Protein backbone atom coordinates (compact mmCIF):
# COMPACT_ATOMS: atom_id res chain seq x y z
CA UNK A 1 0.00 0.00 0.00
CA UNK A 2 2.77 2.40 0.93
CA UNK A 3 4.60 1.46 -2.28
CA UNK A 4 1.58 2.29 -4.43
CA UNK A 5 1.21 5.64 -2.74
CA UNK A 6 4.87 6.40 -3.40
CA UNK A 7 4.51 5.57 -7.09
CA UNK A 8 1.47 7.84 -7.36
CA UNK A 9 3.44 10.72 -5.87
CA UNK A 10 6.30 10.18 -8.32
CA UNK A 11 3.92 10.15 -11.32
CA UNK A 12 2.23 13.30 -10.05
CA UNK A 13 5.54 15.11 -9.59
CA UNK A 14 6.76 14.09 -13.07
CA UNK A 15 3.45 15.20 -14.62
CA UNK A 16 3.61 18.55 -12.85
CA UNK A 17 7.21 19.05 -14.01
CA UNK A 18 6.27 18.29 -17.62
CA UNK A 19 3.37 20.72 -17.42
CA UNK A 20 5.66 23.41 -16.04
CA UNK A 21 8.20 22.82 -18.82
CA UNK A 22 5.43 23.00 -21.44
CA UNK A 23 4.08 26.19 -19.92
CA UNK A 24 7.56 27.74 -19.93
CA UNK A 25 8.05 26.78 -23.60
CA UNK A 26 4.65 28.11 -24.64
CA UNK A 27 5.16 31.27 -22.61
CA UNK A 28 8.57 31.83 -24.26
CA UNK A 29 7.09 31.41 -27.70
CA UNK A 30 4.34 33.84 -26.86
CA UNK A 31 6.89 36.62 -26.23
CA UNK A 32 8.84 36.05 -29.47
CA UNK A 33 8.36 39.05 -31.84
CA UNK A 34 6.27 38.60 -34.94
CA UNK A 35 7.90 39.15 -38.33
CA UNK A 36 6.86 38.87 -41.96
CA UNK A 37 9.36 37.23 -44.28
CA UNK A 38 9.86 37.28 -48.04
CA UNK A 39 11.95 35.04 -50.27
CA UNK A 40 14.84 36.06 -52.49
CA UNK A 41 13.76 35.31 -56.07
CA UNK A 42 15.05 35.60 -59.59
CA UNK A 43 13.16 38.12 -61.73
CA UNK A 44 13.47 40.77 -64.41
CA UNK A 45 14.31 44.11 -62.84
CA UNK A 46 13.59 47.52 -64.29
CA UNK A 47 15.02 50.68 -62.76
CA UNK A 48 12.85 53.65 -63.70
CA UNK A 49 12.43 57.36 -63.03
CA UNK A 50 8.88 58.61 -62.77
CA UNK A 51 7.83 62.20 -63.32
CA UNK A 52 5.21 64.33 -65.02
CA UNK A 53 5.25 65.88 -68.47
CA UNK A 54 3.27 67.58 -71.22
CA UNK A 55 2.52 66.40 -74.76
CA UNK A 56 3.71 68.65 -77.59
CA UNK A 57 3.36 68.37 -81.37
CA UNK A 58 6.58 67.90 -83.34
CA UNK A 59 7.33 70.83 -85.69
CA UNK A 60 3.84 72.37 -85.55
CA UNK A 61 2.72 74.79 -88.26
CA UNK A 62 1.37 77.80 -86.36
CA UNK A 63 -0.45 80.61 -88.19
CA UNK A 64 -0.51 83.97 -86.40
CA UNK A 65 -2.20 87.24 -87.26
CA UNK A 66 0.34 89.64 -88.80
CA UNK A 67 -1.95 92.63 -88.40
CA UNK A 68 -5.04 93.55 -86.38
CA UNK A 69 -8.27 92.91 -88.26
CA UNK A 70 -11.47 90.85 -88.39
CA UNK A 71 -11.91 87.22 -89.44
CA UNK A 72 -14.05 87.26 -92.60
CA UNK A 73 -14.55 83.51 -93.06
CA UNK A 74 -13.57 80.12 -91.61
CA UNK A 75 -13.44 77.11 -93.94
CA UNK A 76 -12.32 74.33 -91.54
CA UNK A 77 -13.18 72.85 -88.15
CA UNK A 78 -10.93 72.10 -85.21
CA UNK A 79 -9.74 68.48 -85.05
CA UNK A 80 -10.13 67.69 -88.75
CA UNK A 81 -7.41 66.27 -90.99
CA UNK A 82 -6.18 68.80 -93.54
CA UNK A 83 -4.06 68.62 -96.67
CA UNK A 84 -1.25 70.92 -97.68
CA UNK A 85 -2.63 73.97 -99.49
CA UNK A 86 -6.12 73.61 -98.03
CA UNK A 87 -7.84 76.91 -97.13
CA UNK A 88 -8.39 77.33 -93.39
CA UNK A 89 -9.67 80.90 -92.99
CA UNK A 90 -9.46 84.44 -94.41
CA UNK A 91 -8.94 87.85 -92.82
CA UNK A 92 -10.12 91.33 -93.85
CA UNK A 93 -7.11 92.90 -95.62
CA UNK A 94 -8.72 95.96 -97.28
CA UNK A 95 -6.70 98.49 -95.23
CA UNK A 96 -3.47 96.59 -95.83
CA UNK A 97 -4.11 96.47 -99.58
CA UNK A 98 -4.61 100.26 -99.59
CA UNK A 99 -1.33 100.68 -97.71
CA UNK A 100 0.34 98.39 -100.24
CA UNK A 101 -0.88 100.53 -103.16
CA UNK A 102 0.52 103.67 -101.52
CA UNK A 103 3.80 101.93 -100.75
CA UNK A 104 4.17 100.88 -104.39
CA UNK A 105 3.55 104.48 -105.50
CA UNK A 106 6.17 105.70 -103.02
CA UNK A 107 8.60 103.12 -104.37
CA UNK A 108 8.05 104.28 -107.94
CA UNK A 109 8.64 107.92 -106.94
CA UNK A 110 11.80 106.99 -105.05
CA UNK A 111 13.13 105.03 -108.03
CA UNK A 112 12.42 108.02 -110.28
CA UNK A 113 14.32 110.33 -107.93
CA UNK A 114 17.21 107.86 -107.84
CA UNK A 115 17.33 107.66 -111.61
CA UNK A 116 17.24 111.47 -111.89
CA UNK A 117 19.98 111.75 -109.31
CA UNK A 118 22.21 109.35 -111.17
CA UNK A 119 21.56 111.34 -114.38
CA UNK A 120 22.64 114.61 -112.76
CA UNK A 121 19.12 115.89 -112.04
CA UNK A 122 15.63 115.92 -113.52
CA UNK A 123 15.92 115.25 -117.30
CA UNK A 124 14.06 118.41 -118.39
CA UNK A 125 16.07 120.61 -116.06
CA UNK A 126 19.35 119.01 -117.12
CA UNK A 127 18.44 119.35 -120.79
CA UNK A 128 17.43 123.02 -120.37
CA UNK A 129 20.60 123.84 -118.48
CA UNK A 130 22.76 122.02 -121.00
CA UNK A 131 21.11 123.92 -123.87
CA UNK A 132 21.64 127.23 -122.11
CA UNK A 133 25.31 126.37 -121.53
CA UNK A 134 25.80 125.54 -125.21
CA UNK A 135 24.15 128.80 -126.27
CA UNK A 136 26.13 130.82 -123.75
CA UNK A 137 29.39 129.22 -124.81
CA UNK A 138 28.54 129.83 -128.46
CA UNK A 139 27.78 133.49 -127.70
CA UNK A 140 31.05 133.92 -125.83
CA UNK A 141 33.02 132.29 -128.65
CA UNK A 142 31.28 134.50 -131.22
CA UNK A 143 31.99 137.70 -129.25
CA UNK A 144 35.63 136.69 -128.83
CA UNK A 145 36.03 136.29 -132.56
CA UNK A 146 34.24 139.60 -133.17
CA UNK A 147 36.48 141.30 -130.61
CA UNK A 148 39.62 140.07 -132.40
CA UNK A 149 38.24 141.20 -135.77
CA UNK A 150 37.29 144.67 -134.41
CA UNK A 151 40.76 145.18 -132.99
CA UNK A 152 42.29 144.45 -136.39
CA UNK A 153 39.83 146.81 -138.07
CA UNK A 154 40.51 149.45 -135.42
CA UNK A 155 44.21 149.25 -136.24
CA UNK A 156 43.35 149.90 -139.90
CA UNK A 157 40.92 152.66 -138.80
CA UNK A 158 38.11 150.59 -140.30
CA UNK A 159 36.28 150.39 -136.98
CA UNK A 160 35.64 152.85 -134.17
CA UNK A 161 36.62 152.69 -130.53
CA UNK A 162 32.94 152.72 -129.55
CA UNK A 163 32.33 149.53 -131.54
CA UNK A 164 35.24 147.84 -129.75
CA UNK A 165 33.94 149.02 -126.35
CA UNK A 166 30.43 147.78 -127.10
CA UNK A 167 31.86 144.38 -128.11
CA UNK A 168 33.94 144.16 -124.92
CA UNK A 169 30.86 144.97 -122.79
CA UNK A 170 28.78 142.31 -124.54
CA UNK A 171 31.62 139.79 -124.14
CA UNK A 172 31.88 140.49 -120.41
CA UNK A 173 28.15 140.00 -120.03
CA UNK A 174 28.23 136.77 -122.02
CA UNK A 175 31.11 135.42 -119.94
CA UNK A 176 29.31 136.31 -116.69
CA UNK A 177 26.18 134.54 -117.95
CA UNK A 178 28.26 131.48 -118.90
CA UNK A 179 29.84 131.43 -115.44
CA UNK A 180 26.44 131.56 -113.77
CA UNK A 181 25.23 128.66 -115.87
CA UNK A 182 28.38 126.64 -115.06
CA UNK A 183 27.86 127.30 -111.36
CA UNK A 184 24.24 126.14 -111.70
CA UNK A 185 25.46 122.93 -113.35
CA UNK A 186 27.96 122.35 -110.53
CA UNK A 187 25.30 122.99 -107.88
CA UNK A 188 22.87 120.68 -109.68
CA UNK A 189 25.54 117.98 -109.76
CA UNK A 190 26.17 118.38 -106.03
CA UNK A 191 22.45 118.22 -105.28
CA UNK A 192 22.20 115.15 -107.48
CA UNK A 193 24.94 113.39 -105.48
CA UNK A 194 23.05 114.01 -102.25
CA UNK A 195 19.80 113.08 -103.98
CA UNK A 196 21.25 109.73 -105.09
CA UNK A 197 22.04 108.78 -101.48
CA UNK A 198 18.67 109.98 -100.20
CA UNK A 199 16.74 108.41 -103.05
CA UNK A 200 18.64 105.13 -102.66
CA UNK A 201 17.70 105.02 -98.99
CA UNK A 202 14.06 105.79 -99.78
CA UNK A 203 14.03 103.09 -102.46
CA UNK A 204 15.29 100.48 -99.98
CA UNK A 205 12.79 101.57 -97.34
CA UNK A 206 9.94 101.53 -99.84
CA UNK A 207 10.99 98.10 -101.11
CA UNK A 208 11.01 96.73 -97.55
CA UNK A 209 7.62 98.30 -96.92
CA UNK A 210 6.18 96.76 -100.08
CA UNK A 211 7.56 93.30 -99.21
CA UNK A 212 6.18 93.52 -95.65
CA UNK A 213 2.76 94.61 -96.83
CA UNK A 214 2.68 91.94 -99.56
CA UNK A 215 3.43 89.34 -96.88
CA UNK A 216 0.61 90.72 -94.73
CA UNK A 217 -1.82 90.60 -97.65
CA UNK A 218 -0.74 87.02 -98.36
CA UNK A 219 -1.10 86.08 -94.67
CA UNK A 220 -4.74 87.17 -94.77
CA UNK A 221 -5.43 83.89 -96.58
CA UNK A 222 -4.48 81.16 -94.10
CA UNK A 223 -3.74 77.83 -95.77
CA UNK A 224 -2.30 74.57 -94.45
CA UNK A 225 1.44 74.46 -95.03
CA UNK A 226 1.61 70.70 -94.44
CA UNK A 227 -0.56 67.59 -94.15
CA UNK A 228 -1.74 66.94 -90.62
CA UNK A 229 -4.42 67.58 -88.02
CA UNK A 230 -5.88 71.03 -87.36
CA UNK A 231 -5.63 70.58 -83.59
CA UNK A 232 -6.23 74.22 -82.64
CA UNK A 233 -8.60 76.74 -84.27
CA UNK A 234 -9.32 79.38 -81.60
CA UNK A 235 -11.08 81.93 -83.87
CA UNK A 236 -14.53 82.17 -85.43
CA UNK A 237 -16.04 84.21 -88.26
CA UNK A 238 -16.41 87.84 -87.17
CA UNK A 239 -13.79 87.65 -84.38
CA UNK A 240 -11.36 90.54 -84.01
CA UNK A 241 -7.75 89.41 -83.82
CA UNK A 242 -4.67 91.37 -82.76
CA UNK A 243 -1.17 91.14 -84.16
CA UNK A 244 0.48 87.95 -82.91
CA UNK A 245 -2.74 86.12 -82.01
CA UNK A 246 -2.78 82.41 -82.92
CA UNK A 247 -5.18 81.69 -85.79
CA UNK A 248 -4.57 77.97 -86.36
CA UNK A 249 -2.14 75.18 -85.38
CA UNK A 250 -1.50 72.13 -87.55
CA UNK A 251 0.81 69.15 -86.98
CA UNK A 252 1.24 65.46 -87.78
CA UNK A 253 -0.02 64.02 -84.48
CA UNK A 254 0.98 60.45 -85.34
CA UNK A 255 4.33 61.35 -83.80
CA UNK A 256 4.31 63.63 -80.78
CA UNK A 257 6.84 64.73 -78.24
CA UNK A 258 6.59 64.69 -74.44
CA UNK A 259 8.45 67.31 -72.45
CA UNK A 260 9.17 65.48 -69.17
CA UNK A 261 10.09 67.46 -66.05
CA UNK A 262 12.73 65.34 -64.25
CA UNK A 263 14.00 66.38 -60.83
CA UNK A 264 17.61 67.47 -60.69
CA UNK A 265 18.96 64.50 -58.59
CA UNK A 266 17.75 62.02 -61.27
CA UNK A 267 19.27 63.77 -64.28
CA UNK A 268 22.61 61.96 -64.07
CA UNK A 269 20.95 58.64 -64.93
CA UNK A 270 19.46 59.82 -68.21
CA UNK A 271 20.74 59.05 -71.70
CA UNK A 272 19.50 59.38 -75.26
CA UNK A 273 17.43 56.41 -76.56
CA UNK A 274 16.39 55.18 -73.10
CA UNK A 275 12.88 53.72 -73.19
CA UNK A 276 9.92 55.81 -72.06
CA UNK A 277 6.39 54.83 -71.04
CA UNK A 278 3.55 57.36 -70.99
CA UNK A 279 0.25 57.15 -69.07
CA UNK A 280 -2.71 59.53 -69.25
CA UNK A 281 -5.41 59.71 -66.57
CA UNK A 282 -8.11 60.07 -69.22
CA UNK A 283 -7.20 56.62 -70.62
CA UNK A 284 -5.87 54.69 -67.59
CA UNK A 285 -5.76 51.32 -69.36
CA UNK A 286 -3.53 52.62 -72.17
CA UNK A 287 0.27 52.95 -72.22
CA UNK A 288 2.29 54.67 -74.94
CA UNK A 289 5.96 53.96 -75.58
CA UNK A 290 8.84 55.97 -76.96
CA UNK A 291 12.40 56.97 -76.20
CA UNK A 292 14.47 59.92 -75.01
CA UNK A 293 15.61 62.05 -77.94
CA UNK A 294 17.24 64.92 -76.00
CA UNK A 295 18.58 65.18 -72.45
CA UNK A 296 18.56 68.59 -70.73
CA UNK A 297 21.56 70.93 -70.83
CA UNK A 298 20.39 72.99 -67.85
CA UNK A 299 17.95 72.94 -64.95
CA UNK A 300 15.11 75.40 -64.57
CA UNK A 301 12.76 76.24 -61.70
CA UNK A 302 9.27 74.77 -61.92
CA UNK A 303 7.21 75.73 -58.93
CA UNK A 304 9.12 74.52 -55.87
CA UNK A 305 11.14 72.02 -57.95
CA UNK A 306 14.42 72.29 -59.84
CA UNK A 307 13.99 70.20 -63.00
CA UNK A 308 15.55 69.36 -66.32
CA UNK A 309 13.27 69.28 -69.36
CA UNK A 310 13.70 65.93 -71.14
CA UNK A 311 12.34 65.63 -74.69
CA UNK A 312 10.87 62.22 -75.52
CA UNK A 313 9.55 61.05 -78.91
CA UNK A 314 6.32 59.03 -78.60
CA UNK A 315 4.42 56.87 -81.08
CA UNK A 316 0.81 58.08 -81.37
CA UNK A 317 -0.48 56.15 -84.40
CA UNK A 318 -4.08 56.17 -83.14
CA UNK A 319 -3.98 59.94 -82.52
CA UNK A 320 -5.08 59.41 -78.90
CA UNK A 321 -2.59 61.72 -77.20
CA UNK A 322 -3.60 65.35 -77.62
CA UNK A 323 -1.30 68.39 -77.61
CA UNK A 324 -0.85 70.16 -74.26
CA UNK A 325 -2.31 67.38 -72.07
CA UNK A 326 -0.53 66.47 -68.82
CA UNK A 327 0.81 62.91 -68.59
CA UNK A 328 2.76 60.63 -66.26
CA UNK A 329 6.23 59.70 -67.55
CA UNK A 330 8.23 56.57 -66.69
CA UNK A 331 11.80 56.52 -67.99
CA UNK A 332 13.41 53.05 -68.09
CA UNK A 333 16.94 53.78 -66.92
CA UNK A 334 18.16 50.15 -66.53
CA UNK A 335 16.60 46.82 -67.48
CA UNK A 336 18.03 43.47 -66.29
CA UNK A 337 16.72 39.98 -66.95
CA UNK A 338 16.61 36.99 -64.54
CA UNK A 339 18.62 38.53 -61.70
CA UNK A 340 18.39 37.92 -57.95
CA UNK A 341 16.04 40.45 -56.37
CA UNK A 342 15.29 41.34 -52.78
CA UNK A 343 12.42 43.51 -51.51
CA UNK A 344 13.45 47.10 -50.82
CA UNK A 345 11.65 47.05 -47.45
CA UNK A 346 13.84 44.16 -46.31
CA UNK A 347 17.08 46.10 -46.83
CA UNK A 348 18.50 48.19 -43.98
CA UNK A 349 21.35 50.71 -44.01
CA UNK A 350 23.79 51.41 -41.18
CA UNK A 351 27.03 53.39 -41.50
CA UNK A 352 26.95 53.01 -45.26
CA UNK A 353 26.54 49.21 -45.09
CA UNK A 354 23.41 47.46 -46.38
CA UNK A 355 22.18 44.43 -44.43
CA UNK A 356 19.17 42.14 -43.99
CA UNK A 357 17.78 39.91 -41.27
CA UNK A 358 18.02 36.37 -42.58
CA UNK A 359 15.31 34.04 -41.22
CA UNK A 360 16.44 30.48 -40.41
CA UNK A 361 15.02 27.89 -37.97
CA UNK A 362 12.68 30.28 -36.16
CA UNK A 363 15.51 32.79 -35.59
CA UNK A 364 16.97 35.81 -37.39
CA UNK A 365 20.60 36.48 -38.24
CA UNK A 366 22.11 39.73 -39.50
CA UNK A 367 23.72 39.43 -42.93
CA UNK A 368 25.57 42.18 -44.83
CA UNK A 369 24.67 42.34 -48.52
CA UNK A 370 25.67 44.17 -51.70
CA UNK A 371 22.95 45.63 -53.88
CA UNK A 372 22.81 46.95 -57.45
CA UNK A 373 20.11 48.88 -59.26
CA UNK A 374 16.67 49.43 -57.78
CA UNK A 375 13.09 49.37 -59.03
CA UNK A 376 10.09 50.77 -57.19
CA UNK A 377 9.80 47.58 -55.06
CA UNK A 378 13.05 45.59 -55.33
CA UNK A 379 16.83 45.82 -55.27
CA UNK A 380 19.20 43.81 -57.41
CA UNK A 381 21.04 41.45 -55.03
CA UNK A 382 24.74 41.12 -55.91
CA UNK A 383 26.07 39.20 -52.88
CA UNK A 384 25.36 38.25 -49.25
CA UNK A 385 22.37 35.94 -49.73
CA UNK A 386 21.19 33.19 -52.05
CA UNK A 387 18.17 32.28 -54.13
CA UNK A 388 15.33 31.04 -51.90
CA UNK A 389 16.69 32.57 -48.68
CA UNK A 390 14.03 34.21 -46.55
CA UNK A 391 14.55 37.69 -45.15
CA UNK A 392 12.54 39.81 -42.73
CA UNK A 393 10.42 42.29 -44.65
CA UNK A 394 8.26 43.58 -41.76
CA UNK A 395 8.91 43.46 -38.02
CA UNK A 396 7.04 44.70 -34.97
CA UNK A 397 10.11 45.39 -32.81
CA UNK A 398 13.86 45.83 -32.87
CA UNK A 399 15.69 42.62 -33.79
CA UNK A 400 18.94 41.16 -32.53
CA UNK A 401 21.23 38.57 -34.04
CA UNK A 402 20.05 35.07 -33.08
CA UNK A 403 16.69 36.25 -31.72
CA UNK A 404 13.80 33.79 -31.87
CA UNK A 405 10.84 35.08 -33.88
CA UNK A 406 7.41 34.00 -35.09
CA UNK A 407 7.30 34.29 -38.87
CA UNK A 408 4.58 34.60 -41.47
CA UNK A 409 4.68 35.25 -45.22
CA UNK A 410 4.83 38.94 -46.10
CA UNK A 411 1.84 40.27 -47.99
CB 31 within 8 A of CB 403: no
Give the pLDDT score at 84.
93
Question: β-strands 348-350, 69-74: how paired?
Answer: unpaired
Go through the chain and tell me how many residues it has.
411
Which of 3-7, 10-14, 53-57, 176-180 has the highest mean predicted lDDT (pLDDT)?
53-57
The whole-angstrom separation of Cα 49 and Cα 375 is 9
Give the pLDDT score at 181.
65
Q: What is the pLDDT of residues 72-83, one digit of tens each?
A: 999 999 989 999
Q: What is the pLDDT of residues 341-374, one digit of tens each?
A: 999 999 999 999 999 999 998 999 999 999 988 8
Q: How confident is the model at residue 189 (pLDDT cuts 50, 70, 90)?
A: low
Give the pLDDT score at 113.
74
Distances, alpha carbon 31 to alpha carbons 271, 356, 397, 405, in Å: 53, 22, 11, 9
Percent of the chain clearing pLDDT 70 (strictly above): 86
Q: Say whether pLDDT at 22 is over 60.
A: no
Q: Say whether pLDDT at 185 is over 80.
A: no
Long-range contacts of 265-271 (CB under 8 A, 24+ apart): 266/49, 266/51, 267/295, 267/296, 267/299, 267/308, 269/49, 269/333, 270/49, 270/295, 270/296, 270/308, 270/310, 270/331, 270/333, 271/295
Give the pLDDT score at 66.
94
Instruction: Choose between 1 and 241: higher pLDDT.
Output: 241
Give the pLDDT score at 149.
80
Instruction: Choose between 65 and 154: higher pLDDT.
Output: 65
Q: What is the pLDDT of residues 86-137, one digit of tens each?
A: 999 999 999 999 999 999 998 888 887 777 666 555 666 666 767 777 787 8
Q: How confident is the model at residue 233 (pLDDT cuts 50, 70, 90)?
A: very high
Identify the CA nearest to 224 among candidates 216, 236, 232. 232
Give the pLDDT score at 136.
74
Q: Which CATH superfamily is domain 49-58+253-335 in?
A: Efflux pump adaptor protein, beta barrel domain (2.40.30.170)
Give the pLDDT score at 246.
95
Q: Which residues contact 202 (CB under 8 A, 6 or more apart)?
A: 106, 110, 113, 114
Give the pLDDT score at 375.
82
Q: How confident is the model at residue 377 (pLDDT cuts 50, 70, 90)?
A: confident
Q: Say whether pLDDT at 26 is over 60.
A: no
Give the pLDDT score at 150.
74
> Which of the residue ranges 136-150, 160-174, 179-193, 373-387 would you say has the lowest mean pLDDT?
179-193
Average pLDDT over residues 192-207: 74
Instruction: Choose between 344 and 197: higher pLDDT.
Output: 344
Local structure of residue 387 (DSSP, 8 states)? T
Question: β-strands 255-263, 41-57: how paired?
Answer: antiparallel
pTM: 0.57
Give the pLDDT score at 119.
55
Q: Say whether pLDDT at 190 is over 80.
A: no
Average pLDDT over residues 158-176: 80
Q: Say whether pLDDT at 158 is over 80.
A: no
Q: Say whether pLDDT at 381 is over 90.
A: yes
Give the pLDDT score at 14.
64
> Which of the residue ranges 3-7, 20-24, 245-249, 275-279 would you say has the lowest mean pLDDT?
20-24
Give the pLDDT score at 12.
65
Give the pLDDT score at 8.
65
CATH topology of domain 59-92+220-251: OB fold (Dihydrolipoamide Acetyltransferase, E2P) (2.40.50)
Amino acid sequence: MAENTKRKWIVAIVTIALILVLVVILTGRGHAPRVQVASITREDLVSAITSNGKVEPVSPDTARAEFSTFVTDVKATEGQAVRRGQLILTLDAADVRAQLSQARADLLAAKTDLQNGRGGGPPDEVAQLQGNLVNAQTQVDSLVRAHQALKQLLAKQAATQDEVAQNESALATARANLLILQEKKTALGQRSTVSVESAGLRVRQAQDQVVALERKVQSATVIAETDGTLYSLPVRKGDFVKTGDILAEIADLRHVRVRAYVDEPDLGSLAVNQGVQIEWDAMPARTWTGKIEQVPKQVVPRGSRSVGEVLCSIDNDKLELLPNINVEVRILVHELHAVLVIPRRAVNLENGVHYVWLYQADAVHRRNITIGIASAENYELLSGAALGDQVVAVTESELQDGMKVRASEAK
